[in-house]
Amino acid sequence: MAKNRKEKNKTPLTTAQQLSSIVKSARDIMRKDKGLNGDLDRLPMLTWIMFLKFLDDLEVQREMDAKLAGKRFRSAIEPPYRWRDWAAKEEGISGDDLKKFINQDEATLPNGKKGVGLFAYLRSLHSANGDRRDVIATVFKGVANRMDSGYLLRDVINKINQIHFNASEEIHTLSHLYESLLKEMRDAAGDSGEFYTPRPVIRFMVQVVNPHLGEVVLDPAAGTGGFLVEAFKHLQQQANTVEKRKVLQEESIIGAEPKSLPYLLCQMNLLLHGLEYPKISSNNSLAVRLAEIGDKDRVDVILTNPPFGGEEERGILNNFPADKQTAETALLFLQLIMRKLKRQPKPGRAAVIVPNGTLFGDGVCARIKEELLKEFNLHTIVRLPNGVFAPYTSIQTNIIFFDRSGPTKEIWYYEQPLPEGRKQYTKTQPIQSEEFADCIAWSKKREENDRAWKVSAKDVLKHDESGNLMSVNLDIKNPKSKTDFEHLPPEQLADDILKKEERIADIMKEIKSALNGGSMETSLRGIK
């Protein structure tokens, strides 16, 4: 009987080609609307509309399962605000009536009564137990309907209504399509597209860290959820029983993203990939005092590409030790990550993308790296080649891998090469997953070669005769590198020149101090 009822409610599957055509048609309709200005407006619109359709399809299925099991079911969204109440009928509410219903705090509802508008209702949802209603409310606090025409909006809704989120095959297909939309959004965002990390880089980091089911994986700067999606897919292969799937769904994946647009995109990305209740905080991960982070707040695995180059407000800086406060966001996140890793029963581990400046930076940066080397095992630094994030940023980047197993004794370096004949990656020729195969194989059986070398932590930490920290330079070049200086990117040449000039200035100050009675030996130590 149950099987017959499910078959009766089953909707014909939409093929990948049909799904792509539906999404393309919806975007073409949006292009006609004068209220939208490019893909940075269109794709978020498309996402929140799909989000509501997805939730309703999911709740219809949940309600059916509850009835079959003889259990009570409460919908997260009540009538007349469910998709099926106002959006599912092709000839339903449209034009100005639709716009007012969605946008205004007080509006005429689809049932003809006066009441709270759709967005106002969704933003008011809350739950004492922290369920899906809280997620919906948080998502829609940062969402706006930017379409000027209620008639075009109705046409878009009718298109999205053709997508059926109650079939796993269809969701799987749509998840891949959605990933391509996120990539397009990064392309449209240009310099502001900091919330997208190339998927091959993410996949490589997940493979090397190798999370196990039962461990908690965190991304404190989740963006659109790329790291969490890949971690979820990695763990999904291990969830082969009902109990394990429950652990995967409820206890394995957490993150935080304070910006409203990436938060919405992250939620949708995780939902489409099969995580039913994404535990993504909308708070700034840095808005907590480091000293207050205890064992209950720590996790097993951290995978992230924290924003760098930005600045935080003074109140955020006060959460960090006085001698390690800095305007560089990447360094604040690095301190947070170190604090959030578990000590026991199994040492926590992390893979973090950092800009090149983190490796050679002095002052506060050096003090943070000193703690990293003395309190953590910084076992590997993978030096990424030119243009991995091009054309969105030309900053040289690295992946640092560390764990909480004890102080660093030696650091392995691996220089990820460019493909043969290439000088850098570009937007049309990005990095590919298979290019990391050699590095993955090397990581399992480490040996020095033309791409890999190691240094002692003692050689990296430099102290003066009194034991005071002088520098922590992790920017160790490949001793076997044959890089042609003339073929380096201009920005890297400029960085190298600036670093040398800064070092010369420091040495001159030391010489001046030595001539006034200090030690000449210390001053001359850095001259090469």
Domain co-membership, 219 together with 252: yes
Q: 232 and 270 in contact (C-beta within 8 Å)?
A: yes
d(CA 316, CA 444): 39
pLDDT of residue 193: 45
pLDDT of residue 497: 66
Residues 6+ apart with CB under 8 A from 92: 86, 110, 154
Q: What is the mean pLDDT of the chain?
A: 87
- Give 402's strand partners: 350, 378
Residue 193 counted as domain residue: no
In terms of pTM, does the model score above 0.75?
yes
Q: Which residue has the tokens 């991995």?
A: 388
* Residue 62 one-letter amino acid: R
Domain count within the chain: 3
Residues 6+ apart with CB under 8 A from 333: 220, 221, 285, 286, 304, 306, 307, 352
pLDDT of residue 513: 66
pLDDT of residue 301: 98
Residue 185 counted as domain residue: no
Residue 135 counted as domain residue: yes
Q: Which of 462, 478, 494 is the last residue of a domain?
A: 478
Tell me the DSSP string of 140-186. HHT-----S-HHHHHHHHHHHTT--TT-HHHHHHHHHHHHHHHHHHH
Helix (H, G, I), strand (E, B) or coil at 331: helix
C-alpha closest to that of 258 among 326, 205, 307: 307
Q: Which of 163, 179, 207 is the last residue of a domain?
A: 163
d(CA 55, CA 162): 15
Per-residue pLDDT tens for 495-508? 666 666 666 766 67
Range of the domain at 494: 484-528
d(CA 210, CA 403): 13
Domain co-membership, 429 together with 284: yes
Domain co-membership, 366 together with 247: yes
| pLDDT < 70 regions, the chain | 1-14, 130, 167, 188-195, 391-392, 482-503, 505-507, 509-510, 512-528
Domain co-membership, 390 together with 469: yes
Residue 408 counted as domain residue: yes
Q: Which of 139, 163, 187 is the last residue of a domain?
A: 163
Domain co-membership, 54 together with 131: yes
pLDDT of residue 494: 62
Domain co-membership, 470 together with 491: no
Domain co-membership, 257 together with 340: yes
Residue 177 counted as domain residue: no
Q: What is the DSSP letter of 191?
A: G
* Residue 336 one-letter amino acid: L
Provide the edge-to-edge strand list for the sheet that holds 397-403: 279-281, 253-256, 217-219, 301-304, 349-355, 397-403, 377-383, 410-415, 452-456
Domain co-membership, 461 together with 521: no
Residue 149 counted as domain residue: yes
Q: Kindly give the pairing relationship between strand 279-281 and strand 253-256.
A: parallel
Residue 95 counted as domain residue: yes
21-29 long-range Cβ contacts below 8 angstroms, 24+ apart: 22/159, 22/160, 22/162, 22/163, 23/177, 23/181, 25/159, 26/156, 26/159, 26/160, 29/152, 29/155, 29/156, 29/159
Residue 171 counted as domain residue: no
Domain co-membership, 204 together with 346: yes
Domain co-membership, 213 together with 152: no
pLDDT of residue 169: 73
Domain with residue 292: its CATH number is 3.40.50.150
C-alpha closest to that of 41 among 140, 147, 118: 147
Q: What is the DSSP letter of 14?
A: P
Domain co-membership, 399 together with 523: no
Residues 6+ apart with CB under 8 A from 153: 33, 94, 98, 99, 102, 145, 147
pLDDT of residue 485: 43
pLDDT of residue 23: 92
Domain with residue 100: its CATH number is 1.20.1260.30
Domain co-membership, 436 together with 458: yes
